Structure 1
Amino acid sequence: MAEHPIQGLMGVTMEKIHQMVDSNTIIGKPITTEDGTTILPVSKVSFGFASGGTDFDGKNPANKELFGGGSGAGVKIQPVAFLVVKDGCVRTIQLSDPSNSLDRALTMLPELMDKVNQLLKSKAEESKAAAEAPAQAE
């Protein structure tokens, strides 16, 4: 059975969507700065697709092979965040609505964890130094 013309229209449209929307669209290509920081853009991708057609049927036998149709698609790419990798630490910078408290808290969580780790390390170093100081005085 021969391929119907609508299949060709749909195939071409879907191929074009596939070219526009791939994994490099969602997680962008890494950008490396001079100090060794790597930045990865993260995007939200939405798309729509429509296709339709009709066969012309009439009393004229020449109309048996006539077909009319069309297809179309739309793609929306919206940047939502950046992943920043520096000195082995990954940080997320969100570009979302700052009025949402939960989003703000989730965005600040990695930075807060880094600060808590630094505080704990400095406290441990101070305790170690304080414990060694009397031993050196003797």
Structure 2
Amino acid sequence: MENSKKHPIDTLMSDTMDKIRQLVDVNTVVGAPIQAEGVTIIPISRVSMGFASGGSDFTGKHQKPEADNCFGGGGGAGVNITPIAFLVVHGENVRLMPLYPPAYTTVDRVVELVPDLVDKVSAFLKEKKEPEDQ
């Protein structure tokens, strides 16, 4: 019959992963919205983490068969949470406000300018449409 008892390394790893899940969830990356004078501010963070776990069985030919405590092991994790930006929502406008210096690559700069571009194009189209309606 198969031994249904969990190996200590399984318990060690699942306990460590459960603790990490408690620390880091989607609310850690995208924080809770903050309401202030008609503006909603949503904090955005970068989360990086490391995880290690290991163990060893100390059973051998000199070990008594009834000895149950023949395992040594450990596990650990590190989590780094760094705030990187805020999403600012004011009416229908959404703006990303980075906490660090401006983007250095072309792609980063384009992504940063998209909200302004959308606002300007929308305003331009609205202006073009209004004279036609009159």
Return the TM-score normalized by structure 2: 0.78
Matches of 2:111 and 2:58 in 1, distance apart? 58
| Stretch of structure 1 that moved more, 21-30 or 105-114 | 105-114
Matches of 2:116 and 2:103 in 1, distance apart? 17
The match for 2:17 is 14
Structure 1 gaps, min length 5? 133-138
For this pair of structures, how many residues does the alignment match? 128
| Stretch of structure 1 that moved more, 114-123 or 101-110 | 114-123
Matches of 2:63 and 2:121 in 1, distance apart? 82
Taking the TM superposition and a 5 Å limit, the aligned residue runs for 1:56-67 are: 56-58=58-60, 59-61=62-64, 65-67=69-71
The match for 2:76 is 72
Matches of 1:64 and 1:39 in 2, distance apart? 55
CA distances 1:38-92 after superposition (whole Å, capped 9, x unpaired): 0111222222221111111241427563211001112222333322111122222
Taking the TM superposition and a 5 Å limit, the aligned residue runs for 1:1-138 are: 1-33=4-36, 35-58=37-60, 59-61=62-64, 65-95=69-99, 98-122=103-127, 125=130, 127=131
- Tell me which protein shows more helix as a share of its residues: 1
Matches of 1:105 and 1:65 in 2, distance apart? 59
Partner SS state of residue 10, structure 1: helix
Matched letter for residue 30 of structure 1: P
| Stretch of structure 1 that moved more, 40-49 or 110-119 | 110-119
**Structure 1 residues 12 and 64, CA gap change in structure 2 (3 angstroms):** closer
- Give the fraction of aligned pairs with identical amino acids, expressed as a percent: 49
Partner SS state of residue 65, structure 1: coil
Matches of 1:54 and 1:3 in 2, distance apart? 15
TM-superposed CA distance for 1:27, in Å, is 1.1
Quick check: 1:57–1:64 contact (8 Å CA) kept in 2?
no
Matched letter for residue 49 of structure 2: F
Partner SS state of residue 6, structure 2: coil
**Structure 1 residues 117 and 60, CA gap change in structure 2 (3 angstroms):** closer
TM-superposed CA distance for 1:94, in Å, is 3.2
